[in-house]
Amino acid sequence: MSPTAGPKTPERSADVACASGGWIRAARRPPGWSPPGPQPAGHSDRDELWPRPGEDLCYLTGDFRIFQRTDGHRWSLDDLLTGWRALSWEPRRHPHRVLDLGCGIGSVLMMLAWKLEDASVTGVEAQKLSVGLARRSLAYNGLESRVRVHHGDIRDPSLNLTDHPFDLITGTPPYFQTSDGVVSTMPQKGPCRFEVRGGVEAYAQATARHLAPDGMFTVCEDARQATRVEAALRAHRLAAVDRLDVIGREGKEPLFSVFRCARGEAPDNYAVETMTVRDRHGQWTPAFAAVREMMGLPPKLTAGGAGRTP
């Protein structure tokens, strides 16, 4: 299998249409910038590791890439900040066993694997289409030996993930209840946005089953749902240690919140921070630029233009 517009190389400045029917998206990187972290170690000569019709192969973090549907669920800002927040929790010990609940197409899963090169990483996902995309991305990046995705429902108490608890668990539950709007029939989108298989309560319950006694749990939720998150945690003897409220643009209300949690009783209060992604002029803030740097994403392409996600 080969692309129809030349060889597959990260340096190309244009997207490449593949004979397989999909697209390989070009890297959007400033001249001279080299991504940190491990290199993909898969076998690109395998037919299943080329994007199929309706799919593209995009950069995720560093040189890792991810298969996505062009009309389906795609990785986004909340994935990036959930992964970053989980990885930047100090002084907790370095996690060696990691679980991502409702891992979808594997974005947070692979961000964690990219940074934690010696960790064993597990994902659970109920949608068959997403499981297939995630497993192909793992194969493309050469992660199959230490990262795996289970096809299953996180609410299933009989789901056998491991004989040992996890040091770190992450989750990005859907933000909306099915009564909040019309559930999309597009591939993946409905269950990714609406709680057709439970919300943060299901994630907290699954975490309580699988988290090590001194483990960490990082979960992302709609910024308006803090009270609900706290109640879900409390019901399963988990507690928020801190919360990051993410503001998309200066002057706007927070979009979502990322909670870092542990086992134990809820304190009377916990630390609440804010991060603004873009200033009033649409430029990345220094705080968000630092997140991108840690997560292997390039800086702005030009000094005067807003940054673009690769």
- Burial of residue 142, with CB atoms counted within 10 A of its CB: 0-12 exposed, 13-18 middle, 19 or more buried: middle
Q: What share of the chain is helix, strand, coil (3-state, %, to 5)?
A: 25, 25, 50
Place of tokens 């995009």: 58
Split at pLDDT 50, 70, 90, the class of 96 is very high
Average pLDDT, the chain: 87
Q: Is the pLDDT of residue 92 over 80?
A: no
Split at pLDDT 50, 70, 90, the class of 305 is very low
Q: Is the pLDDT of residue 91 over 80?
A: no
**Residue 278's beta-bridge partner residues?**
249, 284
Please give the pLDDT value at position 216: 95
Task: Provide the CA 156 distance to its chain's centre, in angstroms.
Answer: 22
Integer Rg of the chain from CA: 19
Cβ contact 37:114 at 8 Å: yes
Helices (H), the chain: 77-87, 107-115, 128-140, 189-193, 200-210, 226-235, 286-294
Q: How do strand 254-263 and strand 211-222 relate by DSSP bridges?
A: antiparallel
Q: Is the pLDDT of residue 180 over 80?
A: no
Instruction: Enter the tokens of residue 267.
Output: 């304190």
Three-state SS for 258? strand
Per-residue model confidence as pLDDT tens digits over 279-300: 999 999 999 999 999 999 998 7
Split at pLDDT 50, 70, 90, the class of 48 is confident
Give the global pTM.
Answer: 0.88
What is the average per-residue pLDDT within 158-167? 86
Please give the pLDDT value at position 302: 44
Per-residue model confidence as pLDDT tens digits over 107-134: 999 999 999 999 999 999 999 999 999 9
Split at pLDDT 50, 70, 90, the class of 197 is low
Residues contacting residue 309 through CB under 8 Å, at least 6 positions apart: 297
Q: Is the pLDDT of residue 163 over 90?
A: no
Angstrom distance (rounded) from CA 97 to CA 291: 23
Enumerate domains of the chain plus CATH numbers: 75-294 (3.40.50.150)
